[in-house]
A and B are shown apart, each in its own frame.
Chain A
Amino acid sequence: MGLSLTKAAQWTTASSGTGKLEFTPMNESLLKEILRFVERFSSQHPQEAEHVFEEPLQWRTTLVASDFKTDYDISDSAVQSHEKDSEGLPLLQLSPPAVYVRSFSQLSKLVHLADGKKLEEVRACLEVYVKKRIMFRKVTMNESVVLFCFAFLRFHCRKVSLDPAAAKNEVELLKQLCSDGEKRVLKSLRYTSEFEFSNGCRTPLWRQVHGEICYLVIEPCDAETLYITYSTAGVFLNEVRLGRRESGYERTSDVYADLVTLLKSRSPHFQDFAAQELPSTHKIQHVESVDGEEQGQPQRSYEQQEKNVHEKAKQQHTVNKAGGRNKNEMCPRWSSFALLSTFGYVTIPLVRCVLKYCHTASYCCVICSFSFRKTSAGAMPGELTSESSTESEEEEEQPERRLEGDIDRLPEYWQIQKLFRYLKAGNQTTTALTLCAMMDLNLMQETCQLIIRDLGGLEILLNLLDTIEVRCKIGSLKILRKISHNVQISRTIVYTSGLQKIVTILDLPDKDLKALAAETIANVARFRRARRTVRKLNGIKKLVKLLDCVPNLAKLTENQEKDVEVARCGVLALWSCSKSRKNKEAIRKAGGIPLLGRLLKSPHANMLIPVVGTLQECASEESCRIAIQTKGMIKDLVKNLRSDNEELQMHCASAIFKCAEEEQTRDLVRKYKGLQQLVSLLGKADNKQLLAAATGAIWKCSISTENVAEFQKYNVLQTLVGLLTYQPDEVLVNVVGALGEFAQIPANKATIGKCGGIKPLVNLLTGTDQALLVNVTKAVGACATDKDNMTIIQQLDGVRLVWSLLKNPSPDVQSSAAWALCPCIENAKDAGEMVRSLVGGLTLILYLLKSTNNEVLASICAAITKIARDEDNLAVITDLGVIPLLTKLTDTTLPRVSCRACSIHYCCMWGSNRESFGKVGAVAPLVRFLKSKDAAVHLSTAKALYQLSWDPNNVIIMHATKVVKVSLSVVAAAFLTH
């Protein structure tokens, strides 16, 4: 919440123990502030100034009797003031060199008299008290007064400030008025939420940031139901209805100082009641409020707060008594209190009341310990929240980054705080100058960023965006642009509706402003909610509008240059936004893709990188891919692969990687000679990101066989095989994927084997990355169709490795592994023996027949087909119960039925399986397969039926299902088509 002046002031004590204030600029300015405060205190707070201290402030002064004028009794060197307390003792007494002062008014006067020496006097006074405390660890009454003086120093937030306790008190009070019968004043009063956070608020966390404490629903007797927000700034009506809260937070009435005032204005009945009854209730409530000024509304809320403090203080008091804690231990913590108050947590009335109560020492301790309770128990009041309204941020629920350690020791802290004070008070010229001064701070440093946030600076900066003064807006945005690199700041900007203001600026005609706003959005839109907010505010459309410029003119005028800069910032923002799926679509709908296409002609890398980056993000949506392709951007993407900027090359390759899902794009890449370019990028093996993108593009492009042929002109296979080792997974996935595609052509399989690709591939089977495993098994499977390769795979025990991947939790890996097993089993030497040697392997296969994933089922059936070719294995799986499992599958009407029929065909070749299939009812569904339109299904089904028909019972079933008729039509169809 703040920091202590005792800490801030740089004492020499640590080293020398003398308790002197060092002569540093910071001390100097602190002293000046204290001095200014003292000087003005009696005029600004006359009542408090008259308060007589129990013990005098006392220090060695340099003043002599002759310095004192009228109002003082002067005798020799001693001086006494005319002003006396009730017991007739003078309020100021000088007996050189000591001076005793017993009220603030006297202190003020003395300081005025001291004239040129006033700074020395204040310094001497402070030194005495700090020294004393250091020596005795003991606080006297005066110290509290001195510290209060500190507390006052930074009093610049004096808003009406309600807190959760105030809300609670008032609600409790009003609840008593909700009774039945004649005398009731209100029908009902309730919170919208029964859940109370530990800070006493009942609003969601993100509304607590706005200072909202709780929502209330009150039914008056004579008016319609009131929906009320109770916030630190006051009480007002909202639109919250149960069930539609999202939109209902807006204020719909004036802000009132408290609930009673609001109710008075809304319900005449309540007003009547309040006129008669409430004063007495007030009295009870304010029994401890000390001065009788109860006129204005703000006054009342002050008192409310006073009361709360009293209450808390009391509670704390009892706790302390019970705990038997020594008050002297607590007292040094006064400093933190001073600090708490520094930022407006404690308002004047509180101080006023404490001044009255500090006749008793224990009370002081109690209050200071209360204040300390709010800070962390350590050595330092660590949090820096600016006002009580943001108290919620202190709560632990928010995993917020907080400043740690003695930030008050940092010169930046005071500097920034001062500058924000100037910002609040300045006219346009001084505000702009102050903003300039702020720009000279190290805004990229996290400490500065967090100090700005914690001092409430973001709000001030964002508010400046509402002024009409362009220079202030520019200055503010220049700062926001930098500090928004910090995610915490970005979040705060979004949660406090700052993004709205920034997005609105995009509509203004001033180009500098547009560019800065877009750049800030680019920084802020790094998390999902921010991106969504930009879209909801129509920001995507506005950003797309910024892109409209001609970037590739030979010579730009100053104005055109600015347009290009605006466009660049716009693209940066779109790039950030394009990471959300809906935003990609929004960019396309707003006509962003063709405009990006135009910017793609720009010769500058700093423009091209965000442009290609955005395109690359968008290309994950099919609609965008088509747009990119049809607007002729592939040509430019390929062209920029030749750039000498690696980042740009990387984004281009990524864009091609994504776009090459489309066949036409793949052809276009070849047409524009992009393949060669991609291959040359493989040489940049040091830049892994680039390598990953390039290999990705090669993979996707190699889906077209023409491209594979083209690639082979540059001996890509050899290079790719070389990349199978010592590369990160991102690269490996793509390399292996490409190998899988290349291996679809028989000649390439041999090449892969010849250049030693099998071994690293098999090694990769032990990996964990699922995407990688899918590709590896695919590649291994493709290579296994080559006999020589298969020999190597078998030597390396590759089949077992593939088989064990069936245990992988990912269905993709399972099915890919099962498909890879098929060629392995088919081409392996002594395949039957090999399969049997894998302990538990067949059980695993049959277990996967229970999978719910279609692709897995199809691949497993295919594998079973291969396994069943070996009689012994067929016997084993029959024993393991393959028949009922397969029969169950014949019921489903799913794709890839041919595999299943096929597996039945092979399973039938053993023993009594034909009868078994008949018994479990597999025949009739098989006949239905014949009605399929797929010739492959016909073939395998016919084979299966042929096998089954060896059993007479099956023939009967077949006859019953009119197999002959169906078969004849199939045969006829087969003849017709061939």
Chain B
Amino acid sequence: MAASWGFTLFLCVLLMVCRGLSLAGEDPDQTLSSSGQVKALNPEIDNALSSNHGTTGEGGHAVEPITTLPIVSWKWHHVTTPYLVALWILVSWLCKLVIEANHHVTSVIPESALLICFGFILGGMIWAADKVQTFRLTPTVFFFYLLPQVILDAGYHMPNKLFFTNLGGILVHAVIGTCWNAASLGLSLWGCQMGGAMGDLDIGLLQYLLFGSLMAAVDPVAVIAVFEQVHVNDVLFIMVFGESLLNDGVTVVLFNVFDAFVSLGGPKIDAAEIIKGIVSFFVVAFGGSLVGLVFGLLISLLTRCTKNIQIIEPGFIFVLGYLSYLTAEMLSLSAILSIVFCGMCCQKYINANMDENSVQTVRYAMKAFANGSETIIFVFLGISAIDKVIWVWNTGFILLTLLFVLVYRFIGVFFLTWILNRYRLVPLEFVDQVIMSYGGLRGAVAYGLAVMLDENKIKEKNLMVCTTLIVVYFTVILQGITMKPLVMWLKVKRAAVTEVSLLEKLTNKMFNHTLVAIEDISGQIGHNYMRSKWKYFEENWMSWILMKPSARKKQDQVFDVFHQLNLKDAMEYVTEGERRGSLEFVRNENSIIDFKKKSESESFDINNANMSNDHGAMSTTSRDPIPSVSLEMHEQIMKAVREAEAINAHHLLDQHLYKSRKQHRHRFSRSHFDINRDEKEVQEIFQRTMRNRLKSFTSAKMGVKPPKTIVKHTQKEQQQKMPNGKSMDKAKTSYSGDEGLISFVHPAGIENPAFMPDLDPMDLLQIPPWLGESELDSSMVALSHRAQVDLPRTPSNLRRLAPLRISTRSTDSFTLENIPDTQQMDSDQLQPPPPPPRPPRDDGYV
């Protein structure tokens, strides 16, 4: 904490220095806040400042004639603009640094709220130094330089499948919900003014509607920032997030329409104008999306040809994305929709076309830009408040706006969801609806629009700006802070009153998995016909045009998942090796300690499990001791388990039960890259499943199978455990048709057999398609007996691993992994493994 205070002090000093400098130099206000601005900023500020400084605006380059040669000279005027810009970016990011230093605070108060508070402090300092607010969030800077990258990031990382599955609901909320919010807010406020609740205000009905329209939009930046703290499920997240993105189409239209109406004046509005307004909605929304799509296709096509300039390949995404935003803005269409659809459209193709490094670069750079922009936005939102000139206080107006914004949001969401639930297969629950309503945060977009109002037409612009600011602060800070406790309270309230027994938990978990499986078997929820038609079109036409031929071949989904898992494994393996000093693994004596720690930890809520902790703990405990040590450790561990209470068993199971898909967090995060799935879990399950299938497969064939299949299949399997002879398979013999095949070895050396369910071997004569056609670009590494036990996760594409032969002890189907290279499909190496003499219903273990 001392460090952070030091930082703050440093910031203050820095700012003071800057203020002093800017006072000496030309007017910095012009550079930051009025360059190229569409509507004039508050003219009083400009006048005040220029009269303050007394210097003329530009032309700091006019130098007096020199009398002697200057060795060095002070050229502040030279660098004012870029210097201040860079300085402000630095300051904002330093604020974020200070905030993130302390996790206790950020878990209670969302980061966005803290950033706004920092903005207050900074604004206060500047105002104290200057007596006027020279820095503020201006619409130009916001809409052109800060917002696009945030939205591009959102579009690029959007989970398309989830989005389009729920598109109906999202659209309903975005369009109808926003219109309802705008209309109800405007009309209610106008009604209140008529009723005299707000004193004497010079605002007409149209202006109220205009105000309502700019206040109605849920802000994507704020939504993401707050939802990071709260773990909500996929569907809920995508509903709110999608709505916040798509409602820009409506907001732009409403704002422009009512702005035009205000200019036209009341009498000139007739049916024709209104119809034009409605038509303009469709034009703006669809036009914006179309522009985005076109640019998305452009990007995809481009990346198809950029093989030779892989270094700057990532840059194209950003440039073209930005261009799509500007093009839509130029055509007065919805710019946010454009850039969202650009990102959504191109993500699949550029990920396929570009080189792995470029893809990583794009992801990281986008996150960096988006995160950075968001930080700056929130800090400046705070700063902009500390400005005496704009503050007009009207209690009635402000309080009523706050009240109506909240109430109408709730009403709107509940009503629309009630309608939607009649058509949805999986209805949205009450808790979800509450979160959706409460999560309708307003943010910088509303503020930007408010500042863009023309005060010649709207006399009470300052009041509106103030109200917008207060609403933004209320939603972001207060609702952000209370969102998490509210969710916890609601969920706890709805949870079972009685303590759930272990068996119940297990069964619930099992049912979850079952339901997910049935969902997958029965196909996606929704319009499957359209989806299959689209898939057909997409596979045959779009992929053909937009993807490189080599990329197209890799489109097999299962292979893709495995490819990613392989990569993850490889990277982890190497970092583990580096961490330990060498690639040679030594016995891990710490495994028992870690295990004990895990069993004593107290986390109840699965959803709050810290993913990074899981990773770290798992990787340390995944170190396998060699068999000779395993027995002792087994004993020790057994003792530890026996000593543990039943509560500990509960905790343990809680932590270790595989999460079903419903429990995974939402897939979008501003600051983390892979937060949705515990990769290890998925990996484990996948490998185990594949191993099971392979075992039944090979057991059926008994050596008749062509080696090709074995090779291709096991290339994907990394977790090949050797049985260490201490099988606990006595019980297995009771199962008929059971190979009793070992599927994985416990890290401490105990086997953990997963039985094969009844499978008729003859069924599996067919080669599963993903086996048959996948191409292999990594070679298999054969592991020695020791290596297999030691190295549970051996990536197959690390050639540095000693390509050792499998020991002759292994006579079971596990020896399938002893194929060193796919090219040499040595059949003689494979003959020993599935030994013909071995009968299928044998001694259960190998």
Answer whether A and B are interacting partners.
no
